[in-house]
Amino acid sequence: MPDNKSHHFVPRFYLRNFSRSGKSIDVFNIGSQRLIKNAPIKGQCCRDYFYGKNPESEKSLSGAEGEVARLFQIINQQVRLPHYFTAGHLLLCFHIAIQANRTKYAADALNEITDGMMREFMKHDRQVTQDMLSQVRFGYDDPALISMGYGVLSFPLLMDLECRVLLAPRGSEFITSDNPVVKYNQFMRWRTDGSNTGFASKGLQIFFPIWPFLTLVMYDRDVYHFGRAKRSYVHIASAMDVHELNMLQVVAASENVYTHSSAANIFKVTQDAARYRRKKKAVVRVFPQPSETDHKSEIVMTSHEDIRTNALLGFMRVHKRAKTWFNNLRSQRYQPAVVMRDQELVMRYETHIKAVKDGKADHMDAIKSIFGKAVVDGTF
């Protein structure tokens, strides 16, 4: 029997959570503005050999998805989250990091960055003409594998984020998309140079709907406060909050968004989100540098294009201390290229990654090396 060639970049178990029958789902195609009722789940969010022709990549993903599906069932039924630095917490962060990097959108963004960077390098080669460059595209044959590899390596950077549950009020629901892990940063949205939604970015927010009535929220605890109560782990969103989060799904999507019922008001959501849809997935900027020779010197900066909807989310407030830090940063004449929420954590992470590459450490020891603590068995 031939290996399965149809690779899903959003798992079928996940899409079933938004299905009424378990076999089909309502699809809204953004390009055609068409709602397709009861489309088979089997044909959604998949491409032939998306992860290459080595069957092990697809099999390894499928093996972990059963555990994630069970975890999502518990979160939905009991409205509770894994305790921090348990095996369940690690699984949740790992899955979110992988899902954010395994989609068609992520693969296309990686190739767009690669293409833009190579064009900047090649334009200085006198043997290469603009006509030649116009006829080629630079990129990876299997960009999803490369992008997913980043997720595998970088998931520990999510483990210091707070994680909460947001519930939809009666009469409304969350939608999802073919790029369902939304990275946002309302705190740093004023910074337009480069990306402010890397896993280690200060002010990072992650919104991941896992059921029509439940969204996981991860955020920088030093910047935001969640909900009304001081230690609120669950919050019921307002109808406007749901609308704003659904708009984020439309803006993040590559081609399609998915709804559970008419409560999503999908035509209104997509209409309001249309002006925020990104025209490009990557940003390549060139900064000329002073040189004492005749040779030109440049710094090429690449980044993903962030989502910018000016979303006002009633369930998240900025801490007073973060506002003070923010005012101090904006008053500085020279801004850092990247603002991290925990510089020391990132340094420990980079030290560990280098040690693994040099054969001096095991990648399984990442959490202990970075956070100084071991992951304990169990979930709750």
Domain coverage including residue 144:
6-371
377 lies in some domain: no
In-domain check, residue 376? no
- Listed in sequence order, the residues at least 6 apart from 127 whose beta carbon sits closer than 8 Å to its beta carbon are none
Name 288's bridge partners. Answer: 298
Q: How far is CA 21 from CA 16, 26, 37, 38, in A?
A: 8, 11, 12, 9
Ramachandran sector of residue 210 (left: φ over 0; alpha: ψ -120 to 50; beta: rest): alpha
DSSP state of 129: -
pLDDT for res 4: 80
Q: How many domains does the chain have?
A: 1
pLDDT at 64: 85
Query: Is position 262 within any domain?
Result: yes
Could you read off the pLDDT of 181-190 as tens digits, one per residue? 999 999 998 8
pLDDT for 211 beyond 90: yes
pLDDT 10s digits, 8-61: 999 999 999 999 999 999 999 999 999 999 999 999 999 999 999 888 877 788
Residue 2 has a pLDDT of 54
130 sits in the region (left: phi over 0; alpha: psi -120 to 50; else beta) called alpha
Structure confidence by residue, pLDDT tens digits, 69-115: 999 999 999 999 999 999 999 999 999 999 999 999 999 999 999 99
Secondary structure element (H or E) that encloses residue 28, with its range: strand 24-29
* DSSP of 188-219: TTT--SS-S-STTBTT-EEEEEEETTEEEEEE
Dump pLDDT digits (tens) for 226-243. Answer: 997 767 789 999 999 999
**Structure token digits, residue 347:** 């340094």
- Tell me whether residue 380 is in a domain: no
Q: Would you say residue 1 has pLDDT above 50?
A: no
Which of 153, 152, 143 lies closest to 52 in space, CA to CA?
143
| Alpha-carbon span 253 to 124, nearest angstrom | 35
| Whether residue 351 has pLDDT greater than 70 | yes
Which helix (H) or strand (E) element contains residue 343? helix 343-357
Q: Is residue 208 part of a domain?
A: yes
Q: State which of 259-273, 299-313, 359-373 shows the largest mean pLDDT.
A: 259-273
- For the record, the structure tokens of 51 come out as 């992860």
Chain centroid, CA 72 distance in Å: 18
Q: Measured between alpha carbons, how far is 132 from 135 in angstroms, rounded to an integer?
A: 5
For residue 363, name the pLDDT band (cuts at 50, 70, 90): confident
Does 279 fall in a domain? yes
